[in-house]
Chain A
Amino acid sequence: MNRIELTRIPFIKNALKSRYPQLAVFIVMLIGYIFAILAGLIGTPVGSHNFSIVFVWIAWWAILILVAVPFFGRGWCAVCPIPLPGEWLQRGAALSPPDKRPKWLNLRVPKMFRNIWLQNISFLLLALFSSVLLTTPNITGIVLAAMLFAAIGLSTVFERRAFCRYLCPVGGFIGLYSQTAPIELRIKDKQVCVTCEGKPCYNGSSAGYGCPWDVFPGGLTKNTYCGLCMECIRTCPHDNIAVNLRPFSADLAKPSTRMDEAFKAFIMLGSAIIYAGVLLGPWGAFKDAAYNVSSNSWFIYAIVFLAIIFVILPGLFMLGILNKKNTLPLKQRFASLSTALIPLGLMFWVAFSLSFVLTNASYILAALSDPLGLGWNLFGTAHAAWQPMFTSILAPAQTLALVGGLIWSARTAQKAAGEVKVSPIPVIIYCFIATSLMLWLLL
């Protein structure tokens, strides 16, 4: 497959190698993040006029799911401010290369947690409370602050970025979907890594820190766990790290065999379908149930939510791929074939997000001028009226995303099925039914 090495361009390479541009972005992002926490806590409780809701759940989400993840994979993780204070504390430095003394406890994360199950759980926890979280500024402020403090706490106990790698509710699906992105960080020559002494990209050196994401770049075959922090570009003594442009979904050619990742695909697919029905659908009772946390109807909603994700969707998928003649274990087939759900899920989220982002994007203008709802008018846009945007292209764009996602997942299913030597037809039918359901819910 053709790849274009972006790091051959001196400007890009220098910008990535130097710590200053990244630090500048970090500081801006951190200021924005802290401001979002404060806005949530002290600003107007009216979500549509509070910076925390408008900038996190409309602006950031739009950028993340419509641009960052599809085109830059873990590009968001590269600039995310959440792990920074913890990481700076852990390192005892904000900019300087390490002084070799380990800070704080520096423990290794126990093996049983070195997977994305915790991320699956943390995502589901937020997902179950999402109706309240997405509309209530002070809850958003508290959750944002909790993530910041959790990251700080984990950085002082465990080595590297334990929060990003194992707990971040967003990081899990960004990693999963980053496999589809046309950008990757890879080594240039495997032999160089094999013979490299000390593996400074993983262990750190005077030039920089060992991979904060606990990944050995020499073994990178997919984007899932590379946070694009660019530390290895700085530490590699052999200039053997490249950032490449590549075809979309290149990583999906080699299906995963991990159940935590397989279930992540179901969690994301199921959540998109449920949200499309509950948040955008015409059924008031569903909305009430999702919103009235701790009421009986919410418990039923939560049980149905979890049942769809953990029982119904994977169960139907499993039924589709049951084939006693196949010698490969069902578990392996299940994990591998669920790769097909990755592009499908991503496009479900794109289609779902398009509707509420285009509907609510005009709130961004007002919130920019009056971020706390205190009657300011910083940029003269405080009185911008709510106005859904591009409504005429919404349905065609959603249809295009969903049908495109179906075709994309069908092709992925063909490849994955080839790997485990089964027919892709049941998976394609499964994807077709899911897409039809999503089309019906959204259009």
Chain B
Amino acid sequence: MKRSELISRILIITGILLAVGAPLFLWARTPLIHARMAEDGGWNPDVIQAEVGKPLHLKITSDDVVHGFAVGQMDMRSVDILPGKVTEVTLNFDKPGIYAFFCTRWCGLNHWRMRGTIEVSGASTDPQPASVPLYVSLNLDLDAPHDAPVVPTGKPSATSGQLLEANLPIDQSADYYRSHSPYEVFESLQNTSLTEAQRWDTVAYFWQSNTTPESLANGKQLYAQNCAACHGENGAGDGVFADDLAEAGEASMQTMEGAMNMVMQVPVDFTDPRRMLGASPALLQGKILRGGMGTGMPMWGVIFTEKQIWDLIAYIYSFQFEYGN
């Protein structure tokens, strides 16, 4: 073989090996977390290992649409994950445990299914016993009907209620508020001289006095980010995804009615007074923490902190009550 031919062959083979080997090598050395719509697999990998006290560097990319990334119960700003772009995130964990990470952008019908876990190992520097949620200690049946038998004719006004409430026999503790539905408090006022409408106004004021403008603002923001797509911006259960979910006949939106009958579950209408005035904050806490169990309602216990859930609940009641300034 001529020398020129030999050199040519060496160059060609080197070139081909380089074209194949270099990208493969670099690709294998660049671990990426891929985000895809839940229908196409969600997060990959969806389980990440980490250690307490050791920064966790993540590189995340989206393979389809814009997603977001955040870790539940952690004080972090969610970051956007853009298609074809790589977003880097560094996380620090000071407690061992299993953390949930989730998508924060309405990426598709099953957006809420886009979740993964970070398993953080290591010794805890500050061991804290887990507290039992209120709905558990109250032994509430989250799935039992809880409709209020009586509802007000209009939206009760906290401002009107403020003038009436002063000397009424209402337990002012947070526990009382959280463990009673507005209807139950309304009922407790039946031996007073107030009219029915005045009693509802009083309840409205009682509900307002158990929250703060900051909590309501925070709840509103959480609601807009996480709930509105299904439950609707105004709480009427008519979010942009509600119709799509019904149309898609998602299995997750079906539920049993009786022994044989399957019905489509629709997002709860928070403007329905019968439903909302019969629900205590503790009951709502349970529903939010646990999720809808077989409906499209995800479990939020791993995402929201306890305070966030109370803020959210406070905001949800504002669909029923006219709060003053």
Expressed in whole angstroms, the minimum distance between the Cβ of A342 and any Cβ of chain B is 36
On whether the beta carbons of B63 and A46 are closer than 8 Å, the reply is yes
Min CB distance B26 to A, Å, is: 7
Closest A residue to B28 by CB, please name it. Answer: A42
Known: A27-B11, A50-B84, A374-B86. A34 touches B27 (CB 8 A): no
Which of A28, A44, A88: most chain B Cβ within 10 A?
A44
Known: A27-B15, A374-B30, A374-B32. A46 touches B23 (CB 8 A): no
A283 to B9, CA, bound (A): 52
Contact B23 A373 (CB under 8 A): no
Inter-subunit contact A374/B27 (CB<8 Å): yes
A43–B1 CA distance with the chains assembled, in angstroms: 39
Interface presence of A375 (CB below 8 A): yes
A352-384 toward B: CB 8 Å interface, digit per residue (1/0)? 000000000000000000111111100000000
Q: Output the least CB separation between B31 and chain A (Å).
A: 10
In chain A, positions 16-58 with a C-beta closer than 8 Å to chain B are 23, 27-28, 30-32, 34-35, 38-39, 42-46, 48-50
Closest to A95 in B: B8
In the complex, are the beta carbons of A31 and B16 less than 8 A apart? yes
CA distance A30 to B310 in the complex (A): 62
Task: Knowing A45-B64, A95-B5, A375-B30 are in contact, say whether A38-B23 is a contact too (CB < 8 A).
Answer: yes
- Chain B 75-101 near chain A by CB (<8 Å), digits 1 or 0: 000000001111010000000000000
In angstroms, how far is the closest chain B Cβ from the Cβ of A21?
13
Complex CA distance for A370 and B18, rounded to whole angstroms: 17
Q: How far is the CA of A371 from the CA of B23 in the complex (A)?
A: 9
Q: Does B168 contact A (CB under 8 A)?
A: no
- The residue in chain B whose Cβ has the minimal distance to the Cβ of A374 is B30
Please determine whether B64 and A42 come into contact, CB atoms closer than 8 angstroms.
no
Q: Is the CB of A38 within 8 A of B24?
A: yes
Interface residues on A, range: 20 to 34
- A49-B8 in contact (CB<8A): no
Contact flags A86-100 to B (C-beta < 8 A → 1, else 0): 001000011110000
**Cβ-neighbour of B12 out of A27, A44, A50, A372 (below 8 A):** A27
Chain B residues near A32: list those with CB within 8 A. 19
Task: Give which listed residue, A31, A88, A96, A376, contacts B15 with CB less than 8 A.
Answer: A31
Q: In the complex, which residues of chain A have a beta carbon less than 8 angstroms from the beta carbon of B19?
A: 30-32, 34-35, 38
Query: Chain A, 370-400, contact with B by CB distance < 8 Å: what is the 0/1 string?
Result: 1111111000000000000000000000000
- Given contacts A27-B15, A94-B8, whether A42 and B63 have CB atoms under 8 Å apart is no
Query: B59: which A residues are within 8 A, CB to CB?
Result: 375
Contact yes or no, A30 B16, CB < 8 A? yes
Interchain nearest-CB distance for A443 vs B (Å): 30
Among candidates B5, B9, B23, B86, residue contacting A39 with C-beta atoms closer than 8 Å: B23
Partner of A94, one of B5, B62, B84: B5
- A94 contacts which chain B residues (CB < 8 A)? 5, 8-9, 12
Q: Please tell me if the beta carbons of B4 and A373 are within 8 angstroms of each other in the complex.
A: no
How far, in angstroms, from A391 to B67 measured CA to CA in the complex? 30
Q: With A39-B23, A44-B63 as given contacts, are A23 and B84 in contact (CB-CB < 8 Å)?
A: no
Given A46-B83, A374-B26, does the pair A34, B16 have CB atoms closer than 8 Å?
Answer: yes
Of all chain A residues, the one with the shortest Cβ separation from B85 is A49
Contacts of B16 in A (CB 8 A): 30-31, 34
Flag if A42 contacts B27 (CB, 8 Å): yes
Which 4 A-B pairs rank lowest in CB-CB distance, beginning with the nearest?
Answer: A49-B84, A375-B86, A46-B84, A34-B19
Binding site for B on A (CB under 8 A): 23, 27-28, 30-32, 34-35, 38-39, 42-46, 48-50, 88, 93-96, 370-376
A38-B23, A373-B84, A375-B61 are known contacts; what are 10 more A-B pairs with Cβ within 8 Å? A30-B16, A34-B16, A38-B24, A44-B61, A44-B63, A95-B4, A95-B5, A96-B2, A374-B26, A374-B30
